[in-house]
Structure 1
Amino acid sequence: MNKTLLIFFITICFSSYSQDKTEVKDFFWGKSDTFKTVTKTPDKWKNESAVIIYKYEHYDYHNSGVKVVFTSAYRQRLKLQDENSVKEFSEFSFKNKFYSSRGYSYKQGTTFLGVKIVKPDGKEIEVDVDKDAKKVDDQKKIAINGLEIGDIIDYYYYSYEPFASLTQNFEPVENTLGDVYPIMSRKMKFLVEEDFYVNFNTYHGAPELKEVESGKKHTKAYELTAQNVEKEEFLRWFYPLVELPCYKFQVFFAKKSGDAVPYNSQIFLPKKNESFRKTVDKDDIFDYYEKKFHAVFDLGETLKFLKGKTFESEEEKIKAVYLFARHQYYTQFIESAVIKEADIFNSYAMYKNPDFFSNEWSFISYFMAYMKEFKIDYNIVLATARNNGSLDELLIQKNLTPLLRINTPTPLYLEYCNPFTTPGTIDYNLENTKGYIMDFVSNRTIANVKEVNLPSTTVKDNVTKVVTNVSMDADLSSLNVKRASEFYGHFKSDEQKDKLKFYDYVEEDYQKYGTERVIDKVGSKSKREQYNKEFDALKNKLKDIQKEDEKKSLSGEFDFEIENPTIKITNTGRYGDNSPVSYEEEFVIKNNFIKKAGENYIVEIGKMLTNQLEIDKKEVDRKNNVYMPFPRAFENEIVFEIPARYKISGIEKLNKNVQNSTGEFSSTAVLKDNKLIIKTVKKYNNYYEPNANWNKIVDFLEAAYQFTQEKVLLKKQ
C-alpha cells in the first residue's frame, strides 16, 4: 500500500464482534511498540522525499467454532522530508462503515483509522478522526493540518471480518517488498489456525516466510521481515510483480473432514502434511481441474439460430455462434438488469428459466457442449496475465484465465464474453505468454496437461487511425475541428467501453438477431407504455450524463476545456476482429493554439496531435525493464486549411524521423491546394524491451513530444 489517499474497501463485519477503539490503538501504539521513539533516519536517505521508519502488515485467520474471523491491519510510520511528501499525507479518505454479503447475509461493520503527528521536539499530536472527518459521498475525508517538513506521521488502519463458519475463499494478497519511499524496517505477520488452507511464497529475492511462536493453541504464526529496503520506482510500462522482490498468498477456509478435498476451493490445496503450498506445476493443474469442466448446456436456441444457415468454413460458423451466444446469454440481460436496478419493474420475471453466462465456467460449458454436439476438436487453455509473472511463478488460482482453443486449420481462441469481445481475440495481457493446455477424453476428463505458447499480435493488428480537419473561424481566433477516428485490434475495447453505452449495443443486437425486448414481453399494453416511458426517461438522463463525460474526455486530451463538442458513432466494431470501432467528432478550440503577432498569427499546430509523453529526468534514468501492453501503431493525418490572404511558413520543423528496433516516430508535412497536410506515425514494436533498449524508446518518444511543440506562422499577404 503505497498511496496515501487511503480508501479502505473492506468487506463485512458483524456488529456483535465490535472491537474497542482503545484496544485497537494499543495494538499499534501500546507498550509493545518498539518504534514509538524512533525518529532518526539514515543519512544516506536525507535527500529522499520521505523515509518509512516502520511498515507493518498483519493478517489473522481465526476459527472460533461458531464464527470465522479475519483481521487485517496496517501501520506506517514515516518522516516527511520535503513539501511533496507533506502534501501527499495531508489528507486521508476512508470508509468506517461498510456492508457485504460474506456469510450469506448483509451485515454492518467498522474499520478503525488512527493518525498522529510527531514533531521534531518529540511532541505528539493525535488526530481526532471521529471529530475531524467529514463525510463526502459514501466516504469520510480528513485533513491532516499542521504538517511540516521534518514531522513524522504515524497512521494505522484495522479491520476485522467475522462471518458464519462456512467454506470461504479469501481474496489473494500480492505485494511488493519495496515502496515508493525507502523503508528502515518492514514486517509482515501472518497467523492461521487449523481448517485454513494456505498458498504462500516469496519471489525475486524477497525474504522467506519464517515460522515464529504464536502464543496460541492450534495457531501457527509466520513472519516476513526486512531492513534497509531501498525505494522502488513504479514507472509506466513496468510490471512490479514480474521483477521486484514480492510475496503472494491466498487463504481458503473449510472444515476438514479426513482426507476429503473441499469441492469449492479456489486455491491449490497444500499437499498432505504440508502447512502451506509454495509452488504449482502441471500435475497440480491436472489435480485441480480434472473434474471442473462439464459439457452441459441447453443448445436449443443455438440450433434454431443455425437452422438454414450456411458458412464458408467451420471457423466462420463458430465465430457466428460466439457472437450469437454473446447476445443470447449475455447482452440481452443487460437491459433487464438496468430496468430492475432503476426499479421500473421486475424485468427478470419476464424470463422463464433463462440461461445466462454468469461466469467463465458457464461460458466454457456452453462451448464444450457445442463442440461435443458437432464433434469439433478443441482444448481448454489456462493462462495467466503477463503482469502476474511467469507460468513458473504461478501460485494464485484466481490469476488463471480459462480459454478455449478450437483446432480449426488456423487455431481459433475464444474467451469469456463481454459486450465487446470478439472470437479470435484474447485479452492482450494473456498474449505472448505460456499457458497450460488440456486434452479431454470423451468431453469428460482431462487426459494430460502440457505447456503451450499463446498467440501474439503485431503493430499491424493494433492500430489507431485519426484524420483531423482544422480550420480557423472568420476572426482567426478559434479553431474549428472535425475529427474521424478508427480503432483496430486491442485499441477497440477501451474505446468501446468509453464511448458505447448499453443502449447503443443492446439495441444493435436486438436488430441483428431479432430478439424480443424485455419490455415487449409484458402482456399488458398499458404497462408496456408506462414502462417504455419510464425507460426512455432513464436513457435520456444517461445520455445527458454521457455527453458531459465525452466533453470531459475530449477536454482531457488537450488539457483545457473544449467548446461545443458533438460525437457520432459510425461503427461499433462489435461483429468482427477486423471491424473497427469508429466515430466522428466536431468541436471548437477557443483561446488556445493561436497567438496574434501584429498582422500575423502563430498556430501551435503540433498540439493537434494531442498529448504526447514528456520524459522527465527520473524516467530517463530508468533501471527497470519495459513491459508494453501490446505492439501498436498510431497513424494521424492533420489537414489544416490555410486562411485566405495568408501564407504559411515553418513547416520544415514538422518533418521528423526516428526509427529503431523498438519503434518509431515519423512525420511529414506538405502544402497542397492551400492546405497543410501533416501525416504522423508512431509505433511500439514489441511487448517487452530490456532496460538496455530504453534509450531507443526515449529517442522516438522525445521526437513525438517535440512535434507537439512545433508552431507555424501565418503571414498576411
Structure 2
Amino acid sequence: MKKITYLLLIFFLKISIASAQDEKIAQKFWDGSQADNLDIPDKWRNESAVILFQEYNYGYEEPGKRVRYTKSIHKRIKLLDKAAVEEFSEFNFVKSFKVSKGFFDKGGNQVLGIKIIKPSKEEKIISIEEEAIKNDKDEYKIAIPGLEVGDIIDYFAYKTEEFKSDVFLFDVNTEILSDYYPCKQYVFELKTTKDFFLNFGTYNGAPEIEEVETKKRKERKYVFVAHDIEKNDFPMWFYPQVELPFYKFQLTYGLSVNNADNAYHNFLSKDIKEVKSTVTQEDVLNFFSYPNRYRKLKISKHLKKFSKKYLKGKTLSKEEQVEETYYFLRHFVLTQYIQPTIISKLDVKNTLSPFDYYYQKVGGRILVPSTLNNQFKFCLDFAGFLSANEIPFELLVAMPKFKGGVEELISIDEVELLLKINFEKPIYISYYDKFSTLTANSPFLENTEVYALPYDNKKKEISDIYKLTIPESKANENSSLESMSVSFEDNFSTINLDTENVYKGHLKSTQQENLLYFFDYVEEDNKRFNNPNYFERILSNKKRTRHREKYDAFLDKIKKKREDYMLDRLNNSYQFTIKDQNTEILDTGRKSDSSFLKYKCHFTVENDLIKKAGPNFIFEVGKLNGDQITLDKNERDRELNVYMNFPRSYASEIIVEIPQGYKVLGVEKLAINKSNLYAEFVSTSKIQGNQLIITTKKTYKKSFIEKENWNQLLEVLDASLDFNKQKVLFEKI
C-alpha cells in the first residue's frame, strides 16, 4: 500500500467527483483511448501485476497576473494474483488542500477517480463519496469492493492551484521510471507558457524530452514515451537515482523581472525558450560570484558583538575561534528560541509575545535571528566572519550522493552548501541543526565530488572554481558501544539488564534526533554562553511563576512520552519482551566533535530467554546482542550494487552474573570470526570469576559494494544471525 498512499498524499485530494467540472476532468482520463489496452506481454505472465499504462502530466500557465499549476497521474494496472488484489484493495488519502507557493489567491481543485474493469470488459466506477471512510483526523481510506484476480484498476489523481507571485522556483520534480511492477507504457507530458524557464534532465538511459508544436502561440509542450519498463524491487541499501533511469525538472517563473535578475535566483538558460539540461562548472561560478553575493564580505553585526563579548581577551587559536563562533550561531539562531516557542503554544496570559524578551536591537533595527535560518544565509554569515579574521576558506557546492553526482545538478534547490576552512588540516563545516557539532557534516556528502570556489581575501571575491572530493569517514569514527550487565532473580524467572550506550559520528546524530528533547540541552547552551533563559528574563515574579507552572507541566508530559518511546524502542530492538525501563541521559554529545552521546538504561525481562531443563537452565544469551538484519530469499538474490550511507561499527560487551550454585557450559560456541574486505563480525567469550563476559563487534567497512561481492556481505550478516541463535547452559553444581 505504500506506493498508493504516497501517490495520493501528494495531491491532498477531496473525496468526491460531484460537480460538472469534475465530471469533465474525469472524462480527460477516461476518454476511451485506453479502452483496448487490456493485455499484457507473455514475458510478464508470472508477475503479480502489470502496469498497462501510466501518464504523468504537468501544466504551468500564466493566465493574467496569476500562476496556475496542475498535476495529474493516471495509472491502469492489471492484477494477476491475490497479493496484487490485496495491495490495491484500499486507497489512503487526506481531505485537505494547501498552497505551497506564492500567495493564496483562488481555491484549488482536486479530484480522484477510480474504476474497475472486469475481464468481461464491464466497468464499475467507484463512488468515492460513498466508499471513503474517515480514519483519523483528516485521513480517509477507500476500500475497493469486489476486486478479483484478472481485474484492471484504472485510477487518476488530479490537482490544480492558482496563486500570485512575481518570481519563484517551483519544486524540483523527480521521478524514477521503474516501479514495483513492470510497465507497458509510460507517458510524460509538460505544458507551459512563455514566461517560465525550464530546467530538465534525463539520466541513466531515460528518454530525452521532445518539444512538440501546439495550436497556441504562447504555449510550449514537451513529451516523452517509454515502453516495456522492467520492475524493480528497490531493495535496502540502494540509491535508485544512481543506477535506474529517471528524470527531473524544475520551472522558474519570472514575469516582472529582467533576465539578469532571473539569473540571481537559479541556474537558468540565457534564452527563456531554451531548455537547460545541464548546469556547467561555469554556471556555478557565475551564480556564486554574482554581484552582491560573495563579494566584499563583511562580518555581521551580531557576530561582531559576539566577538567583543565572548572572544575578546581570550587567547584562542584561529581554530578555536571558528569552533566557538559555530556553536554560538547554533545557539543564537536555534536553541535560545526553543523555550519561548514552547511558551507561545501554552495557555499563558501575557500582553507580550514570549519572543519580545529575546529580540535585540542591532544597528538601530530589531534583529530576528530566524532570518539566518537556512544554509545559504549561514554560509554567507560565517564566510563574513572568516573573511574579517583573514581565515582562508572555500565555498563548496555539493549534491547528496543518493541524488547522483554534482554534474547532474539542474537547480539551486538541489545544492548543499559547505565551507572548507583551510587550516593546516582542513575542516569542512555545514549548516547546523540542534545537535550538530563543528565538522559533523551530512554522511550523504562524504566521498562525493563537489565544486570548490576559493574566496580571495585580498580581492574580496570568488573568481575561480575547481573540483575536489570530500573525504569519507571511517567505520571506527561512526560507532556505537553497548555495555550490558545481566543478573537473575526469583530462580531465573526475572532478568535484570543495565546498559550504558555510547554513540559517536553519524550514528550519534541519528540517535540524538530520536532520544534527545529540548530540556536535555537548552540549559546546557544557555550556560555555555552565559545567556539567561526565558524565566530569568521575566521581571514579574507572579508572571514567572505562572509561566513556570505551565512549562513544568508540559515537561512532565514530554518526559513520559520519552519513557514510552524508549519502552517501544527496546521491544523493537530485541527478540524478547521488555517489561519496565528507565532511561537517563548522561551526555548529549553536542559540546564538540569529540563528545559522545551517552545514556544508561535499566529494564527487566520476565519469563523469557530462560528455559528449565531438569535441574538446569538453558539461557538464550545470543539474543542479548539485539535484533539483526534478516533477509528473505528474494532479498538474498541481489542483482544491484550496495549503497550504504557510511561505514560504521556496532560493538557490545555483555557481562552475565553466573548465579551461585551453577556453572556455564557451551561458552565456546559464542566465539565467531567472519571477516572480509567489506564487513566483519567477531565475537569472543570467557569465564572470569563468577562472570560470563561476551564481546561482539559488527563492522560495515565500505559504503559501496559491487553486486558481485554481495555474497561476502551476506556471510557477515549470517554470522551475526548465527550468534543470536546461540545458547548456554547453566548447569547445577
Fold shared by both chains (TM-score > 0.5): yes
Give the whole-Å Cα distance in 1 for the aligned partners of 2:100 and 2:635: 44
Q: Does 1:524 align with 2:524?
A: no
Letter aligned with residue 310 of structure 1: T
Change in Cα spacing, 1:560 to 1:67, as seen in structure 2 (3 Å) is farther
Shift, 1:561, TM fit: 4.4
Q: How many residues align?
A: 709
Aligned partner of 2:511 in structure 1 is 495
Q: Deviations over 1:9-33 (max 9, x none)?
A: 44899xxxx98221221121124xx
Deviates more, 1:600-609 or 1:104-113: 104-113
Letter aligned with residue 308 of structure 1: G
Residue correspondence of structure 1 range 673-692 to structure 2 within 5 A: 673-692=689-708
Change in Cα spacing, 1:343 to 1:36, as seen in structure 2 (3 Å) is farther
Shift, 1:49, TM fit: 1.7
Aligned partner of 1:330 in structure 2 is 334
Change in Cα spacing, 1:100 to 1:561, as seen in structure 2 (3 Å) is farther
The partner residue of 1:300 within 300, 305, 328 is 305
Aligned partner of 1:349 in structure 2 is 356
Change in Cα spacing, 1:99 to 1:342, as seen in structure 2 (3 Å) is farther
Give the whole-Å Cα distance in 1 for the aligned partners of 2:330 and 2:244: 39
Paired residues of 2:166 and 2:256 also in contact (CA < 8 A) = no
Paired residues of 1:2 and 1:180 also in contact (CA < 8 A) = no
Shift, 1:297, TM fit: 1.4
Aligned partner of 1:407 in structure 2 is 422
Residue correspondence of structure 1 range 199-214 to structure 2 within 5 A: 199-214=199-214
Shift, 1:600, TM fit: 2.9
Shift, 1:331, TM fit: 1.1
Shift, 1:232, TM fit: 1.3
Q: Does 1:670 align with 2:671?
A: no
Letter aligned with residue 94 of structure 1: F
Shift, 1:200, TM fit: 0.3
Letter aligned with residue 225 of structure 1: V
Letter aligned with residue 300 of structure 1: K
SS of the aligned residue for 1:376 comes to: coil
SS of the aligned residue for 1:54 comes to: strand
Aligned partner of 2:666 in structure 1 is 650
Letter aligned with residue 360 of structure 1: Q
Aligned partner of 1:22 in structure 2 is 23
Give the whole-Å Cα distance in 2 for the aligned partners of 1:137 and 1:106: 26
Give the whole-Å Cα distance in 2 for the aligned partners of 1:83 and 1:714: 48
The partner residue of 1:445 within 461, 471, 479 is 461
Give the whole-Å Cα distance in 1 for the aligned partners of 2:169 and 2:611: 61
Aligned partner of 1:340 in structure 2 is 344
Shift, 1:510, TM fit: 1.3
Aligned partner of 1:190 in structure 2 is 190
Change in Cα spacing, 1:649 to 1:431, as seen in structure 2 (3 Å) is same
Paired residues of 2:99 and 2:161 also in contact (CA < 8 A) = no
Give the whole-Å Cα distance in 1 for the aligned partners of 2:51 and 2:298: 53
Q: Does 1:231 align with 2:234?
A: no
Deviates more, 1:676-685 or 1:588-597: 588-597
SS of the aligned residue for 1:476 comes to: coil
Q: Which runs of 5 or more residues in structure 2 are unaligned?
A: 361-365
Q: Deviations over 1:176-223 (max 9, x none)?
A: 111111101111111111111111011111111122233433111111
Deviates more, 1:411-420 or 1:348-357: 348-357
Paired residues of 1:573 and 1:579 also in contact (CA < 8 A) = yes
Shift, 1:361, TM fit: 2.3
Paired residues of 1:99 and 1:106 also in contact (CA < 8 A) = no
Shift, 1:296, TM fit: 4.9
SS of the aligned residue for 2:722 comes to: helix
Aligned partner of 1:358 in structure 2 is 373
Letter aligned with residue 67 of structure 1: R
Give the whole-Å Cα distance in 2 for the aligned partners of 1:370 and 1:260: 29
Give the whole-Å Cα distance in 2 for the aligned partners of 1:276 and 1:485: 53
Q: Deviations over 1:245-299 (max 9, x none)?
A: 111111111116554432652x310133652100111100012121333545112
Give the whole-Å Cα distance in 2 for the aligned partners of 1:287 and 1:2: 42
Residue correspondence of structure 1 range 547-626 to structure 2 within 5 A: 547-558=563-574, 561-626=577-642
Aligned partner of 2:243 in structure 1 is 243
Change in Cα spacing, 1:12 to 1:411, as seen in structure 2 (3 Å) is farther
Q: Does 1:470 align with 2:486?
A: yes
Q: Deviations over 1:481-501 (max 9, x none)?
A: 111110011111111111111
Change in Cα spacing, 1:118 to 1:470, as seen in structure 2 (3 Å) is farther
Give the whole-Å Cα distance in 1 for the aligned partners of 2:602 and 2:2: 41
Q: Does 1:288 align with 2:291?
A: no
Shift, 1:3, TM fit: 0.8
Give the whole-Å Cα distance in 2 for the aligned partners of 1:239 and 1:596: 48
Paired residues of 1:12 and 1:102 also in contact (CA < 8 A) = no
Paired residues of 2:480 and 2:503 also in contact (CA < 8 A) = yes
Give the whole-Å Cα distance in 1 for the aligned partners of 2:118 and 2:659: 63
Q: Percent identity?
A: 34
Give the whole-Å Cα distance in 1 for the aligned partners of 2:655 and 2:694: 6
Letter aligned with residue 422 of structure 1: T
Give the whole-Å Cα distance in 1 for the aligned partners of 2:649 and 2:473: 12
SS of the aligned residue for 1:99 comes to: coil
Paired residues of 2:401 and 2:444 also in contact (CA < 8 A) = yes
Change in Cα spacing, 1:127 to 1:598, as seen in structure 2 (3 Å) is farther
Paired residues of 1:459 and 1:685 also in contact (CA < 8 A) = yes
Give the whole-Å Cα distance in 2 for the aligned partners of 1:269 and 1:19: 40
Give the whole-Å Cα distance in 2 for the aligned partners of 1:58 and 1:189: 5
Shift, 1:355, TM fit: 4.4
Residue correspondence of structure 1 range 103-114 to structure 2 within 5 A: 103-105=102-104, 109-114=108-113
Aligned partner of 2:677 in structure 1 is 661
> What is the TM-score with the length of structure 1 in the denominator?
0.95
Aligned partner of 1:317 in structure 2 is 321
SS of the aligned residue for 2:483 comes to: strand
Residue correspondence of structure 1 range 479-490 to structure 2 within 5 A: 479-490=495-506
Shift, 1:229, TM fit: 0.6
Q: Deviations over 1:358-388 (max 9, x none)?
A: 1112212221221122121111111111111
Q: Does 1:132 align with 2:131?
A: yes
Letter aligned with residue 289 of structure 2: E
SS of the aligned residue for 1:366 comes to: helix
Give the whole-Å Cα distance in 1 for the aligned partners of 2:79 and 2:44: 12
Give the whole-Å Cα distance in 2 for the aligned partners of 1:519 and 1:157: 50
Paired residues of 2:106 and 2:162 also in contact (CA < 8 A) = no
Give the whole-Å Cα distance in 2 for the aligned partners of 1:706 and 1:342: 52
Give the whole-Å Cα distance in 1 for the aligned partners of 2:91 and 2:659: 53
Q: Does 1:394 align with 2:409?
A: yes
Letter aligned with residue 456 of structure 1: E
Give the whole-Å Cα distance in 2 for the aligned partners of 1:513 and 1:104: 39
Letter aligned with residue 314 of structure 2: K
Change in Cα spacing, 1:11 to 1:181, as seen in structure 2 (3 Å) is closer
Letter aligned with residue 544 of structure 2: R
Give the whole-Å Cα distance in 2 for the aligned partners of 1:642 and 1:118: 67
Aligned partner of 1:418 in structure 2 is 433
Change in Cα spacing, 1:19 to 1:99, as seen in structure 2 (3 Å) is farther
Paired residues of 1:378 and 1:407 also in contact (CA < 8 A) = yes
Shift, 1:116, TM fit: 1.8
Give the whole-Å Cα distance in 2 for the aligned partners of 1:470 and 1:264: 62
Paired residues of 2:50 and 2:77 also in contact (CA < 8 A) = yes
Give the whole-Å Cα distance in 1 for the aligned partners of 2:48 and 2:611: 39
SS of the aligned residue for 1:186 comes to: strand
Change in Cα spacing, 1:105 to 1:192, as seen in structure 2 (3 Å) is closer
Q: Which runs of 5 or more residues in structure 1 are unaligned?
A: none
Paired residues of 1:12 and 1:107 also in contact (CA < 8 A) = no
SS of the aligned residue for 1:3 comes to: helix
Paired residues of 2:11 and 2:157 also in contact (CA < 8 A) = no
Q: Does 1:164 align with 2:164?
A: yes
Shift, 1:559, TM fit: 5.3
The partner residue of 1:699 within 711, 715, 718 is 715
Change in Cα spacing, 1:156 to 1:596, as seen in structure 2 (3 Å) is farther
